Amino acid sequence: MPVQRVRLRPVRKADLPHYVRWFNDPEVTRWLMRDAGITMEQEREWFRRLSENPHEVVLAIEAEGRHIGGCGLTLRKDSPVAYFGISIGDTSAWGKGYGTAATREMLRIGFEERGLERIQLETWAQNVRAQRCYENCGFRYEGVRRRAVLKQGEWLDVVMMAILREEWQAVVAPPQEGLCPLGPEHAAEALRLWKAADLWLPPGDNRPRVRNSLAHTARFSAGWRASGRLVGTAIGAFDGLRGWIYHVAVHPKHQRRGIATALMEEVEGRLRAAGVTRAALIVWTGNEGARALYEKIGYEAGEEVTVMFKGL
């Protein structure tokens, strides 16, 4: 699905009834770092204070001419760092790409107009949909605060994510050379590369399926560009027990330059940062070149000859 266009604008007094309705809807507040329940008087007071606070950048989100939510940055007084928050309150607008579009525009405002170096956020660990949105926009997983908040009688884990200026720049303008993000927007490029590298792919591994897979694995995956073209990939994943690395591929014209090793190290680092302590990969029988590479960087054969592991 293409990312939808949205408009970010200042919050108006006429928007307040929308916020009151949304923030009293349990379906909406279930995914917010707040509980349901707010009055119009409280919202008017928030709106009054908003114009007096130079450290709050709060904007309304419009799509198709209607107000559907809001997003904002909370700036630190003496540091180029900000907290990001977003809410699509209109549930009929969910799942249409508006949140992703609004997040990307807010990142542009933060980095280009406000000169920020880091934008961070917190979200519930169970809010997987939001985490995928943030990952697609360039945010990286930084850790989890376990049983951090008691919400409606349930202790919830809080996931911490952030994006740095150079990471945002890599998303909006991928580097001509070197490591680069590997997300769902790169599905077509990845498929062309894998075909050129003669990588074995499961039956039915078409563009929609690859796009969906890369949306799930962007946190742990990496690509490599040369002259602006995607010439290398390594996909990382975590099954709850161990990390997995697969689709390690380098275009034949760029092999034997250390690209595969660099990609493996990058993916291992991302898995390690998420608390993964053991990584595994599969080597197809007869692929002695790949086997030799993996052994060189520390992988050992497991119980099955074709499965190799490395402690992280």
User: How far, in Å, are 178, 197, 259, 295 from residue 252 at the CA level?
Assistant: 16, 6, 11, 21
- Please say if the pLDDT value at position 303 is more than 60: no
pLDDT at 304 over 70: no
User: Nearest CA to 241 among 288, 290, 274, 278?
Assistant: 278
Cα distances from 193 to residues 70, 111, 300, 305, in angstroms, run 39, 32, 27, 27
Query: Does residue 99 share a domain with residue 25?
Result: yes
- Rounded distance between C-alpha atoms, residue 298 and residue 43, angstroms: 58
pLDDT digits (tens, 9 = 90+) for 231-253: 999 999 998 888 999 999 999 99
Considering the domain boundaries, does residue 207 fall inside one?
yes
Residue numbers of the domain that contains 234: 174-311
Query: For residues 301 and 307, is the Cβ–Cβ distance under 8 A?
Result: yes
Question: Where does a domain end: 138, 167, 196?
Answer: 167
pLDDT of residue 307: 62
The total of other beta-carbon atoms located within 10 Å of residue 203's CB is: 5
45-54, 63-72, 199-208 — which is least confidently predicted?
A: 199-208
From 68-72, 93-97, 118-122, the region with the lowest mean pLDDT: 93-97
What pLDDT does residue 202 have?
74
Q: Count of residues for the chain?
A: 312
Question: For the whole model, what pTM was predicted?
Answer: 0.65
Backbone CA torsion sign across 265, 271, 275, 279: negative
Residue 91's pLDDT band (cuts 50, 70, 90):
very high
pLDDT band at 34 (very low <50, low <70, confident <90, very high): confident
Strands 154-164 and 66-76: unpaired
Other CB atoms within 10 Å distance of the CB of residue 292: 10
Examine residue 249 and state whether it is found in any structural domain, yes or no.
Answer: yes
In terms of domains, do 161 and 207 share one?
no
| 70 and 199, same domain (yes or no) | no
My answer on whether 141 and 288 are in the same domain is no
100, 135, 167 - which closes a domain: 167
In this predicted structure, what is the pLDDT of residue 2? 45
Say whether both 50 and 106 belong to one domain.
yes
Shared-domain flag, residues 157 and 271? no
Share of the chain above pLDDT 70, in %: 96
Question: Which CATH number covers residue 24?
Answer: 3.40.630.30
Q: Quick: pLDDT tens for 239-291.
A: 888 899 999 999 999 999 999 999 999 999 999 988 899 999 988 777 888 88
- 191 with 255, same domain: the answer is yes
Residue 22 lies in a domain: yes
Q: Same domain for 49 and 129?
A: yes
Q: Are 136 and 100 in contact (CB under 8 A)?
A: yes
Residue 163 sits in the same domain as residue 39:
yes
Residue 116 located in a structural domain: yes
Task: List the one residue out of 269, 241, 253 whose CA is nearest residue 140.
Answer: 269
Please tell me the predicted confidence (pLDDT) of residue 94.
Answer: 93
My answer on whether 37 and 159 are in the same domain is yes
pLDDT tops 60 at residue 305: no
Distance CA 256, CA 35 (A): 55
Domain boundary among 137, 167, 197: 167
Q: Is residue 2 part of a domain?
A: no
What tens digit of pLDDT does each residue of 162-198 get?
A: 999 988 988 887 778 899 888 887 888 999 999 999 9
Residue 103 sits in the same domain as residue 228: no
Work out how many domains the chain is built from and give that number. 2
Per-residue pLDDT at 298 exceeds 70: yes
Residues 58 and 162 occupy one common structural domain: yes
